[in-house]
Amino acid sequence: AENEQVSPLQNLDVGRSCILVSIAGKNVMLDCGMHMGYNDDRRFPDFSYITQNGRLTDFLDCVIISHFHLDHCGALPYFSEMVGYDGPIYMTHPTKAICPILLEDYRKITVDKKGETNFFTSQMIKDCMKKVVAVHLHQTVQVDEELEIKAYYAGHVLGAAMFQIKVGCESVVYTGDYNMTPDRHLGAAWIDKCRPDLLITESTYATTIRDSKRCRERDFLKKVHETVERGGKVLIPVFALGRAQELCILLETFWERMNLKAPIYFSTGLTEKANHYYKLFITWTNQKIRKTFVQRNMFEFKHIKAFDRAFADNPGPMVVFATPGMLHAGQSLQIFRKWAGNEKNMVIMPGYCVQGTVGHKILSGQRKLEMEGRQIVSSPKWLLIDKACAFHLLLLQLEVKMQVEYMSFSAHADAKGIMQLIRQAEPRNVLLVHGEAKKMEFLKQKIEQEFHVSCYMPANGETTTIFTNPSIPVDISLGLLKRETAIGLLPDVKKPKLMHGTLIMKDNSFRLVSPEQALKELGLAEHQLRFTCRVHIQDPRKEHETVLRVYNHLKGVLKDYSVQHLPDGSITVESILIQATAHSEDQGTKVLLVSWTYQDEELGSYLTSLLKKGLPQSTS
């Protein structure tokens, strides 16, 4: 039995993903995410867990990034350039194109605006991306002689992929984030019946069975429409790619149908780039978009315009998509601060928010927030903490009067979707990551009950070992098969058949051949190996008399075998030789030496046990 080891460096929250898999002696790191809710050491995974001394390149065979979200790729430049890793990093083509843009955008917010140190530079992002190898869907990539990987479509966001990691006959499938239902711009995740030893699946919505998508969309449009009609402003915090495009298509068609005049803005230059990539990677989108693309591009919007920060103070209704999606920094947080005090306004959170972010706080019902600020703005009250550092360390008391709504347009699989994927792939074991412990526990029980497979949910830094029983195919030579059937032993499906031969291991394949063929192929001389067993018999007679008694006894019992008494006083049964000698200390005991070749192992063992029972008294 082989074993596979899985160690989530970061996993039992939805903050950041980073998992270490050891399979048949190969070490693969799956994703390299950062946590949006922290500004200290907890932001990045603890890579010292992988190895305390020596370079990461010596320890890891490769790194795989499932998609471009920062909780899956945000720590990559820190890991490769600051900690130090020079090996291959695999991701799909869209992920490779979009990842550096999001990393640079986040670096700007963190370093240029917040002034933080101990963060990667623009150059580090570029150097990191040079180590990336882009892969196509369903392309088998040979990492080295033994390790191969293959990407499958995951839905979720543009370029998201599930990866199969295979070494010999052992395999692991890592889902990353995936969506089992198609949406307005992406298809549903799909994998073939690959029956991996282990499926590592996300479980963000482990206990949720989401209501129908149409109901959610109707509800969303109704709330946006009502807010705009009463003159309010709607803030929709999103990440630049993914849900943003989904909701833009939804609002664009609604505005067109209802002939609405309130402006819709998108708050970042990233969108132009984002839409450029959707056009570039059109094959990754769904069927409908690909068909429509011939007449018009679904990502060129008539009603949605680029946002300027001065627009936030404009009177009257508007809808603004602003990044990032969890209200933890950037433009979405700035607009939220400005609009939070007015009950006419609304913020709609369309996706998951990790703990520690402003998004998570307001969704938990918190209506009084304390925030740090670097410059004084007019609307809220400011409290000075220390006059000496009043310029940059100020605590903002913000009262939230605007309406807060949560609508899951998140492109993660719900409980039903996760079960569906397990049904598709038929894994032997399941491991849950990227979720909350209580919800995962519920899903774990459900999986074990329905599929009768072991399900694991390791904590951060905990190692799970999964034992596998690889079946190794062996080719049998025709000569050996013919010889076995010539003996008259025809194969029986119900009874396993023991075959004697020589096992040759060559070029990662196994063959069972006759000893003669093996000697010939390998150019070796034959050595005879004989096994000898001592059997003590109580008999006061002379040695030649004891031999005669043994001969008569065997002749009577083994009627189908050739039993011979030789002139030198020994006995042969087929190739088995039996000789008798007197015991050195006890003259009343005779020692029978029974020796045989390995081919006659069964007969030799039978004769030994027969003689150990003693000789019949009547034999003369």
Which residues participate in catalysis according to the annotation? 202
Q: Do residues 616 and 554 touch, judged by C-beta distance below 8 A?
A: no
Written as six digits, the tokens of 611 are: 């003689």
Written as six digits, the tokens of 216 are: 């959610």
* DSSP string for 224-275: HHHHHHTT-EEEEE--TTTHHHHHHHHHHHHHHHHT--S-EEE--THHHHHH
Q: Do residues 234 and 227 touch, judged by C-beta distance below 8 A?
A: yes
Q: Identify which of 400, 397, 354, 349 has the alpha carbon closest to the alpha carbon of residue 377.
A: 397
Phi, psi of 163 (to 5 degrees): -120, 135
SS3 443: helix
Phi, psi of 543 (to 5 degrees): -60, -45
Q: Do residues 456 and 432 touch, judged by C-beta distance below 8 A?
A: yes
Written as six digits, the tokens of 266 are: 């998108």
Bond prior to 324 in cis (omega within 30° of 0): yes
Phi, psi of 170 (to 5 degrees): -100, 140
How many residues can be counted in the chain?
A: 620
Q: Do residues 424 and 367 touch, judged by C-beta distance below 8 A?
A: no
SS3 15: coil
- Cα separation, 21 vs 13, in Å, equals 19
Q: Identify which of 306, 325, 126 has the alpha carbon closest to the alpha carbon of residue 242.
A: 325
Q: Is 216 exposed, middle or buried (0-12, 13-18, 19+ CB in 10 A)?
A: middle
Q: Do residues 87 and 27 touch, judged by C-beta distance below 8 A?
A: no
Q: Do residues 155 and 134 touch, judged by C-beta distance below 8 A?
A: no
- Cα separation, 511 vs 504, in Å, equals 5
Q: What is the 3-class SS of 477-526, one letter each residue? A: CHHHHHHHHHCCCCCECCECCCCCCEEEEECCEEEEECHHHHHHHHCCCC
- Cα separation, 128 vs 109, in Å, equals 20
- Cα separation, 252 vs 301, in Å, equals 7
Written as six digits, the tokens of 370 are: 């304390």
Q: Are strands 18-23 and 264-266 parallel, antiparallel or unpaired?
A: unpaired
- Cα separation, 396 vs 16, in Å, equals 28
Which residues on neighbouring strands pair with residue 530, listed in sequence order?
597
- CA atoms within 13 Å, Cβ hemisphere of 427: 29
> Where in 469-529 does DSSP place strands (E)?
474-476, 502-506, 509-513
- Other residues' Cβ atoms within 10 Å of the Cβ of residue 594: 22
Written as six digits, the tokens of 482 are: 């013919």
Written as six digits, the tokens of 219 are: 């509800």
- Cα separation, 469 vs 293, in Å, equals 49
